[in-house]
Structure 1
């Protein structure tokens, strides 16, 4: 999601339509691991409940990433420790690069920025957590400095740049074990809500293929690492349906991986119904079969719709050995309009997590660091206090099944 304190995810309106290097990091801590390789079902179970470090390493100003640009404090080890203590086992770290990428042909990432990314990864990785690292804001037309634009005419340059950036990132993390998962991009589409268009979708498929090939050939554990790729705007229907998504081939992966196993995951996001989950007004504040006021409950996107959406992903990918990751989900705080809203936010989160588990998918809650009206926050990032224990409890209940 592209989201400042009040701009929490315009790109997700598509839901409405369908719904150190090899030695040590900057902290001086060695990052090599030797855990046993897990198959698809095992890794989803081991990832447990996930949480997004939103609005931090993808925050930006004047075309440059800055983790405090959107009003949040610098990320600390203490914050990550609080998240872990609350029961989360996976942390997704959205990352933007933007103008911290130098000119071609090398497209060198600013060293201090790459070091900071690794430092924040280490906060989680060195605590035994799974860590998902993506390329987040570089594909948004609304972001100054963005360049991963699927309907641009400059695809030769874009693809060369994309390849070089992922090569550097993958090399930096080559000795991290399977708890480090790389994700090719975030909500990539042409910016127009509706059915996917060509050649934009073909270019998204090409980006995913470049990503897989580049990471696999970057050395170390990258040849067997789990990789996460999205379809059009991480939309379930446009990924699972017949709209143009193409699974990348994996020809450079380690020959030690059994041929019957995959090492590619599929990324989707879930914010349906949007009028409950993301629309910034007080009209729809309740969700699910427990809603007490029909006028405050959406006419669509209830439990039956959720089940059908996750079953689509199960049928299209999970049964073929490709795990699914619901890399973002959640709903904004509307308690200023309806004091009972948090009850339904908890119901919504529990249902998404439990239904995802039913269909073999992992889940990662979207936390944008904002508490109060329209926020997704579960924690206060200054005091590290838990702000939404009820939602956290619902997530943990859901993941336990």
Structure 2
């Protein structure tokens, strides 16, 4: 996600709504030190567990496009954790969430989710050039959290998440910066280290090149910014492949401009990366590239922090509380566009984030429509050969996306969870059917 200032027609994405603010205020030096010490302590355990939970490169199975999407099932985002930061230093507790535990991931799996996306920021945990070495304690902790899900048989998606936001301290992956030579060298080195760390994990681990990369302005794509985004994707694919192991055949996930469907599938400058270094064991007629988009439309229902638009879909009871656009027909047309452009050519689509914030304090029926929205996205994604991963920012109550309490591990929105699972089980060809029918 990007910022809460997004107010435009089309697929709107945002990042600060994960926290409800533009960026977390500066914390004290002592607080930062405590956060760093916590990361180091947790990493000690990670360095041991990470070594014991790696998959054997010899046992990796190959899944084609339809199989990988089917196997991913219902997806859930571990938002506001490994992309959180304090003064540019990533720390999973910096935005008010507790440290991630195996018990939390077990609860998510027990609820029926088969894929967990783990957004990751690196920021000032990257050392100086030319090596750009990632802080070993941070990389160990990333691996430990990945293992929480991977060791339970779940699919896992990890990315570079917050490093491309101009509003974040320590950001550097800036597509309209004049320092592209340095940025691309740093990007290559970061992915080389991450890919090497995970090269023996099987295809249940999916690497995603970046998150919502754009120039920070919510308008049409600009150049040379879009060309630089395409270059980042190409560097990512080439770098990961060259690290060998299962990375030579791993599914890799790449976004277009700001993960926007129109600007990715339309004629706005997106270029699919080539895959010349992939394993010769992959059949020539198969792909190993997936396309990432996000879906928060209509924004006034899904993301806008206001109590005016609280209902969505054909079952909406009050037209004055329903957006004038972005209903089931729009959702269908958006994912059909992705299907026609990519899925038909063998490139799976992943709706890496979707969801709607809690406005039940303004309208007691709001959670019913949030569930309808979640089910419709899931059903429509399935209809058009895409996987969908719900955005959970760990926040419950007003404007939160949370499905779980990350301290007690209790399910906080069983109706939305049930709607997602119902959508995954539903028959293809019936998009947008409200959960209440």
- Cα shift at 1:15: 6.1
- The separation in 2 between residues aligned to 1:384 and 1:15, in whole angstroms, is 35
Query: Which ranges of structure 1 fall in alignment gaps of 5 or more residues?
Result: 3-8
Q: Which residue of 1 aligns with 2:379?
A: 354
CA distances 1:92-120 after superposition (whole Å, capped 9, x unpaired): 00000000000000000000000000000
Indicate the RMSD between aligned Cα atoms, in angstroms.
1.1
- Name the TM-score, length of structure 1 as normaliser: 0.96
Which of these residues, 96, 104, 110, is aligned with residue 79 of structure 1? Answer: 104
Tell me, yes or no, if structure 1 residue 10 matches structure 2 residue 32. Answer: no
Query: Which ranges of structure 2 fall in alignment gaps of 5 or more residues?
Result: 13-45, 427-437
Where 1:91 maps in the other structure, the secondary structure is: strand
Q: Which residue of 1 aligns with 2:23?
A: none
CA distances 1:163-214 after superposition (whole Å, capped 9, x unpaired): 0000000000010000000000000000001100000000000000000000
- Cα shift at 1:32: 1.6
Check 1:181–1:218 CA distance in 2 against 1; reply closer, same or farther (3 A cut): same
Q: Which residue of 2 aligns with 1:154?
A: 179
CA contact (8 A) 1:15 1:272 kept: no
Equivalences for residues 227-376 of structure 1 within 5 A: 227-376=252-401
Tell me, yes or no, if structure 1 residue 102 matches structure 2 residue 127. Answer: yes
Where 1:10 maps in the other structure, the secondary structure is: coil
- The separation in 2 between residues aligned to 1:149 and 1:391, in whole angstroms, is 35
Which of these residues, 66, 72, 75, is aligned with residue 50 of structure 1? Answer: 75
Tell me, yes or no, if structure 1 residue 145 matches structure 2 residue 170. Answer: yes
Q: Which residue of 2 aligns with 1:6?
A: none
- The separation in 2 between residues aligned to 1:321 and 1:175, in whole angstroms, is 25
Q: Which residue of 1 aligns with 2:85?
A: 60
Check 1:72–1:18 CA distance in 2 against 1; reply closer, same or farther (3 A cut): closer
- The separation in 2 between residues aligned to 1:206 and 1:109, in whole angstroms, is 22
- The separation in 1 between residues aligned to 2:148 and 2:195, in whole angstroms, is 18
- Cα shift at 1:18: 5.0
CA distances 1:368-400 after superposition (whole Å, capped 9, x unpaired): 000000000000000000000000000000011
Q: Which residue of 2 aligns with 1:31?
A: 54
Check 1:113–1:18 CA distance in 2 against 1; reply closer, same or farther (3 A cut): closer
- The separation in 2 between residues aligned to 1:31 and 1:15, in whole angstroms, is 44
CA distances 1:326-345 after superposition (whole Å, capped 9, x unpaired): 00000000000000000000
CA contact (8 A) 2:316 2:369 kept: yes
- The separation in 1 between residues aligned to 2:11 and 2:54, in whole angstroms, is 41
Check 1:266–1:161 CA distance in 2 against 1; reply closer, same or farther (3 A cut): same
- The separation in 1 between residues aligned to 2:152 and 2:115, in whole angstroms, is 11
- Cα shift at 1:14: 7.0
Q: Which residue of 1 aligns with 2:21?
A: none
Which of these residues, 200, 219, 234, is aligned with residue 209 of structure 1? Answer: 234
Tell me, yes or no, if structure 1 residue 119 matches structure 2 residue 112. Answer: no
- The separation in 1 between residues aligned to 2:88 and 2:60, in whole angstroms, is 39
- Cα shift at 1:52: 0.2
The count of aligned residue pairs is: 390
CA contact (8 A) 1:96 1:138 kept: yes
- Name the TM-score, length of structure 2 as normaliser: 0.88
CA distances 1:111-133 after superposition (whole Å, capped 9, x unpaired): 00000000000000000000000
- The separation in 2 between residues aligned to 1:195 and 1:25, in whole angstroms, is 44
Which of these residues, 189, 201, 207, is aligned with residue 182 of structure 1? Answer: 207
- The separation in 1 between residues aligned to 2:247 and 2:7, in whole angstroms, is 33
Where 1:391 maps in the other structure, the secondary structure is: helix
Where 1:26 maps in the other structure, the secondary structure is: helix
CA contact (8 A) 2:249 2:278 kept: yes
- Cα shift at 1:30: 3.3
